Structure 1
Amino acid sequence: MGVFEYVWAGVLAVFLGPEAFSLFGIGVPITLVMVVFGFLLGIVIGATPGLGGPFVMAVSLPILISFFGFTPDALLPVMGFLVGVMKGATVGGAVPAILFNTPGTPDALMTTLDGYPMTKRGNAGKALRTAHFASVSGDTFSDLVLFTTAPFLAIIVESYLGFAEKAALIVLSLSFVAAVVGASPMKGLMAAFFGILLASVGTGEDLYPRMTMGTEFLANGFPLITAVLGVLIMGEVITSFEETWRDRRAARVQNQIPQSDDNSLSWSERKALLPYISVSAAVGTLIGALPGIGSTLAATLGYATGQKMHKGPVKFGDGTPEGVAATEAANSSVSGANLIPVLSLGIPGNVSAVFLILAAESIGGFNPGPSVFRFTTSEVNPELVIAFGLFTTMMCANILNWTIGGQFMRWVGVMSKVPKQVLMPMVFLLTITAVYVQETSFDAIFFLLGFGLLGFFMRKLRVPILPFVIAFILASNLETALRQAFAVSGGDPFFLFRSPISIVFLVLSVVVIVFFMCGKKDEAALSSEVS
């Protein structure tokens, strides 16, 4: 098969896959239905403060896997739903920030700086249209970069990196994530090491129990889904319960602000926004391609870059559409770029990417990494077909975003008023149900609650969550790469230092940690002087 034949096979896998139902005698593929459903649900959840895309992805993944099963036909519907949620939540996150000055996520904080002043002037509709146009433009640009970059990067990795180099690359990625995420690189390293430690409990590569303290309870280790959902979701739910108990105040009543009759966004206004969108999309894509940094930094840099470009009468921060466009284009362009390290290296770049990897590992038949883009003309690579099918679902979600996303986004503004006291108990019960449906064991519930308490205390101690989660996921890959590299070297204890490439990766790991530790110390010293 040639390249274009693989692309066409991926498109057909989406549109000619299993049918959900028939409409006027035409079969509607289940993958497309799941993309639409996930996209609309993502906008609703994104517009609800305190939730966000990862909540829905975490809760729905076990249920979807139980419903579709573990067959190859389940991969694209499940991953299509997750992609739809990711795209929809990215757009919907701007709604509460603009309408009620309530950022549902940290990166939406920058959107409030200009979005809410526009609402107070009666231009909420124009602000929402600006956010939608910038968000979908940045997202589409990022996806195009993903489609063209990930295959070539994977081919390079597959051609030049052996077992030792891949192990050193994983170490570099974990070091980068640990150093960048959170206020303290040392806490990030501790979280990563702790994630590797807990992932090592149970049966290892030698097929005998380790660190189980002689109990059957830990003989099979901690299920991946319980660890990830426990730390990410249950930890956040328990934190919200604690905050609600400590601060029992009713949700604020939002005063209705009169809005202007003309809140449209003309073509000339869209054209004027394009320079800000283009620059911010490029910034967000570069940031997103680096594992662990996330959309918050991208939104900040995009806003700062747009502010330097701006020459208009209304300054940034006073309610200018350019400020909204610069922020939304930057944080939305992260989503596609974050899948570059996932598909080319098998390394998750953010929380949403974590659940895509979980889906692939749970169902089977698709292992994100360099082998996905292994191209041969003699035999068919089914993983490459799935990859192009995944790209097709992303483009379908983008088309939905361009066509109905803006209108649906303006309809769901009411979700911004739902209080956490109502949402969090529902999330708590749904998460427990989802884990039990996946594992069908009460032991999994105990693990879930235990990891939830771990996530709660990590938040209280300001220990970053993402390094722990990514290290837990990559621990098995790291162990496998190290064992294979050790075996290939003939038992050489210095096998990691026999390759120039692996030495470069290991040195860069140390440099990254030292650089960011010094940078955080300088920031702390500067802030103390200012105070």
Structure 2
Amino acid sequence: MTEMLHYVWLGILSVFQGPAILEIAGVGLPVALVMLVAGLITGIAVGATPGLAGPMAMAISLPLLISAFGFTPDALLPVFGFLIGIMKGATLGGAVPAILFNLPGTPDAMMTTLDGFPMAQRGQPRRALRIAQLSSVAGDTFSDLVLFICAPFLAVVVEAYLDLPEKTALLILSISFVAAVMGRSVGKGLLSVSLGLLVAYIATGNDLSPRLTLGFDVLQSGIPLIAAVLGVLIVGEIFATLERLWLDNHALDVIPVEKRSTQDGLQPGDIRRISPYVGRGAVIGALIGALPGVGSTLAATLSYTMAARRIKRHPQAQPLGTGAPEGIAATEAANSAVSGANLIPVLSLGIPGNAAAVFLILAADSIGGFNPGPGVFSMPDGALNPQLVTVFGIFTLMSLGNVLNWTVGGGVMRAMGGLAKIPATRLLPVVLLVSLTAIYVQETSMFAIWSTLAFGVLGWAMRKLAVPVLPFVIAFILAGPIERSAREAFAASGADPWFLFSSPTSVILLLLALAALMFLGRER
């Protein structure tokens, strides 16, 4: 316990005593803390702008951050700080257009519009935004506490009880679960996973010559990771949104809000009124967020549905959908509680659970010196584990982000309300140009640009065919760990082709993977 507290203290010091970005009156400002604040403000602005999202801003920022800070271990916390700030700020800022303009920037924000916009139409936009802020930050804080407790425990269990065959089976279970729960059918989920694995294995592996290159010299170095991920995940979304706006022949239909009421702002009893719904939404969001591939939309919908059922049992209460504070609280607490819990499989297993987690994994892989997985929580005798110091530095940054959201987040959130009026038809081409520029800065190769555009077309086509894109991305990232783990297990077993069935645990994990495909993958 003493050794763990020592690592916690070192993690805190790594944030506050890290390299200073500038000095004010002889006091240095830690670069990680400054980047966290900058990322938080950027995230709120991005969340408040329909057509943009946190992962999109993280995708654009990552190559620029790496180019600015380099590939040394000192770059880890500043880069993570900015990305964590975006992740937290975008979740908070997403309520702004939903409440003020009835424009859900993300699918989970659709539930916020049901009560947030009617409240704003009654002349109480400030009250609705304040309730959204309190609920969102409360859910996020609870989710982070779950992460801080569960991630080390899960990592220790995995490291102590799972050997190479079991870890391989666990990775297979993860991508099977993602394929089963995402998309309209298990077939489309498996198609997406298969495409991700196929692309990832181009020119990789331990073979004497590059594989799957089809004779093209340009493919002998493989597909750039950032080009494939950003192309399918971000550029494909931009193409799909621009097509949708072109077909609709309009950018944004902003509905005016009535003049603010003299009673706008939190009212006596609001906190007590929404507290049960915030608590229930936070628990729902944290439980759903801990599962890889299950996003905040499900958490928001489930929390809102349960809140509506509770309201119906009290006939004197205001029904949801009419501007009830309980509806905003239930939705915002649930979708915010997903973010922290989604990092549990990332830090403890190295498995990304959502789009934001993908870019944290990419940052770790690109910079080096930090490999998310069970090994980061080990405490070797007589030696210091720098990865564990980094983990507690990340926990420190997340805690500071919550403090900032509690204190100044609401003010920044309201100040960004006007961004929702920016036409998406003008905004998204600029985002596309900046994305391609950032990729070129990172890769300095036109092949990376053409690859990104090609995978953007693939991402657009997948969306048109209702094939989920996140399984493609997760499979692309996990392809390397799966192959390495399988090769090591195969060699350790003496080249036994049945090594995956060598222990009861790996057999159970494989059966769970099969069960996920059979019972969770029915047509939805």
Q: In which range does the TM-score fall when normalised by the shorter chain?
A: over 0.9
Pairing partner for 2:492 from 488, 493, 499: 488
Write the letter of the residue equivalent to 2:389.
Answer: V
Q: Which residue does 2:93 correspond to in 1?
A: 92
**How many angstroms does 1:249 deviate by?**
2.4
Q: Which residue does 1:74 correspond to in 2?
A: 75
Residues paired across the two proteins, number: 520
Determine the C-alpha separation between the residues in 2 that align with 1:515 and 1:203.
34
Which shows bigger deviation, 60-69 or 204-213?
204-213
Q: Which residue does 2:411 correspond to in 1?
A: 407
1:510 partnered with 2:514: yes
Judge conservation of contact 1:235–1:451 (CA < 8 Å) in 2: yes
1:449 partnered with 2:453: yes
Q: Which residue does 1:223 correspond to in 2?
A: 224
Segments of 4+ in structure 1 off by > 3 A?
Answer: none
Q: Which residue does 2:440 correspond to in 1?
A: 436
Judge conservation of contact 2:251–2:424 (CA < 8 Å) in 1: no
**How many angstroms does 1:305 deviate by?**
1.7
Which shows bigger deviation, 368-377 or 216-225?
368-377
**How many angstroms does 1:207 deviate by?**
5.0
Q: Which residue does 2:338 correspond to in 1?
A: 334
Determine the C-alpha separation between the residues in 2 that align with 1:330 and 1:377.
41
**How many angstroms does 1:245 deviate by?**
3.2
Residues 195 and 57 (structure 1 numbering): CA distance in 2 closer, same or farther, change over 3 Å?
same
**How many angstroms does 1:517 deviate by?**
3.1
Q: Which residue does 1:344 correspond to in 2?
A: 348
1:174-196 per-residue CA deviation (whole Å, 9 max, x = no partner) reads: 01111111111110011001100
| Residue pairs, 1:178-257, within 5 angstroms | 178-249=179-250, 251-257=252-258
Determine the C-alpha separation between the residues in 1 that align with 2:406 and 2:261.
24
Judge conservation of contact 1:205–1:480 (CA < 8 Å) in 2: no
Q: Which residue does 2:396 correspond to in 1?
A: 392
Look up the SS of the partner of 2:219 in the other structure.
Answer: coil
Q: Which residue does 1:278 correspond to in 2?
A: 279
**How many angstroms does 1:273 deviate by?**
1.4
Determine the C-alpha separation between the residues in 1 that align with 2:395 and 2:86.
15
Q: Which residue does 1:526 correspond to in 2?
A: none
Q: Which residue does 2:306 correspond to in 1?
A: 305
Q: Which residue does 1:174 correspond to in 2?
A: 175
Q: Which residue does 2:357 correspond to in 1?
A: 353
Determine the C-alpha separation between the residues in 1 that align with 2:512 and 2:501.
13
Determine the C-alpha separation between the residues in 2 that align with 1:102 and 1:446.
33
**How many angstroms does 1:248 deviate by?**
2.2
Write the letter of the residue equivalent to 1:440.
Answer: T
Judge conservation of contact 1:2–1:377 (CA < 8 Å) in 2: no
Judge conservation of contact 2:440–2:448 (CA < 8 Å) in 1: yes
Look up the SS of the partner of 2:29 in the other structure.
Answer: strand
**How many angstroms does 1:224 deviate by?**
0.5
Judge conservation of contact 1:114–1:317 (CA < 8 Å) in 2: yes
Residues 432 and 207 (structure 1 numbering): CA distance in 2 closer, same or farther, change over 3 Å?
farther
1:204-254 per-residue CA deviation (whole Å, 9 max, x = no partner) reads: 133530011122100011011000000011111111232233332253253
Judge conservation of contact 2:123–2:257 (CA < 8 Å) in 1: no
Judge conservation of contact 2:251–2:425 (CA < 8 Å) in 1: no
Residues 253 and 389 (structure 1 numbering): CA distance in 2 closer, same or farther, change over 3 Å?
closer
Q: Output the aligned Cα RMSD.
A: 1.2
**How many angstroms does 1:267 deviate by?**
5.9
Give unpaired runs (5+ residues) of structure 1. Answer: 524-531
**How many angstroms does 1:117 deviate by?**
1.0
Q: Which residue does 2:147 correspond to in 1?
A: 146
Determine the C-alpha separation between the residues in 2 that align with 1:256 and 1:493.
66
Write the letter of the residue equivalent to 2:198.
Answer: L
Look up the SS of the partner of 1:22 in the other structure.
Answer: strand
Q: Which residue does 2:3 correspond to in 1?
A: 2
1:317 partnered with 2:321: yes
Determine the C-alpha separation between the residues in 2 that align with 1:503 and 1:253.
55
Determine the C-alpha separation between the residues in 2 that align with 1:427 and 1:439.
18
Query: What's the % identity of the aligned pairs?
Result: 57
Q: Which residue does 1:528 correspond to in 2?
A: none
**How many angstroms does 1:452 deviate by?**
0.6
Write the letter of the residue equivalent to 1:430.
Answer: V
Determine the C-alpha separation between the residues in 2 that align with 1:250 and 1:495.
56
Determine the C-alpha separation between the residues in 2 that align with 1:357 and 1:302.
29
Which shows bigger deviation, 303-312 or 444-453?
303-312
Residues 23 and 266 (structure 1 numbering): CA distance in 2 closer, same or farther, change over 3 Å?
farther
Pairing partner for 1:473 from 474, 477, 481: 477
| Residue pairs, 1:290-301, within 5 angstroms | 290-301=291-302
Give unpaired runs (5+ residues) of structure 2. Answer: none
Residues 244 and 300 (structure 1 numbering): CA distance in 2 closer, same or farther, change over 3 Å?
closer
Q: Which residue does 1:424 correspond to in 2?
A: 428
Look up the SS of the partner of 1:483 in the other structure.
Answer: helix
Determine the C-alpha separation between the residues in 1 that align with 2:44 and 2:165.
43
Look up the SS of the partner of 2:416 in the other structure.
Answer: helix
Q: Which residue does 2:165 correspond to in 1?
A: 164
Judge conservation of contact 2:181–2:520 (CA < 8 Å) in 1: yes
Which shows bigger deviation, 181-190 or 289-298?
181-190
Determine the C-alpha separation between the residues in 2 that align with 1:270 and 1:256.
25
Determine the C-alpha separation between the residues in 2 that align with 1:456 and 1:207.
35
**How many angstroms does 1:114 deviate by?**
0.8
Determine the C-alpha separation between the residues in 1 that align with 2:383 and 2:520.
46
Determine the C-alpha separation between the residues in 1 that align with 2:213 and 2:484.
20
Look up the SS of the partner of 1:217 in the other structure.
Answer: helix
Q: Which residue does 1:265 correspond to in 2?
A: 266
Determine the C-alpha separation between the residues in 1 that align with 2:257 and 2:322.
20
1:313-360 per-residue CA deviation (whole Å, 9 max, x = no partner) reads: 210111100110011000000000000000000000100000000000
Write the letter of the residue equivalent to 2:16.
Answer: F
Determine the C-alpha separation between the residues in 1 that align with 2:254 and 2:400.
38
Q: Which residue does 1:55 correspond to in 2?
A: 56
TM score, norm. by length of structure 2: 0.97
Determine the C-alpha separation between the residues in 2 that align with 1:253 and 1:206.
57
Determine the C-alpha separation between the residues in 2 that align with 1:159 and 1:251.
54
Determine the C-alpha separation between the residues in 2 that align with 1:224 and 1:207.
22
Residues 9 and 514 (structure 1 numbering): CA distance in 2 closer, same or farther, change over 3 Å?
same
Judge conservation of contact 1:98–1:127 (CA < 8 Å) in 2: yes
1:228-286 per-residue CA deviation (whole Å, 9 max, x = no partner) reads: 00001111111123223333225325324122122221463212211111111001000
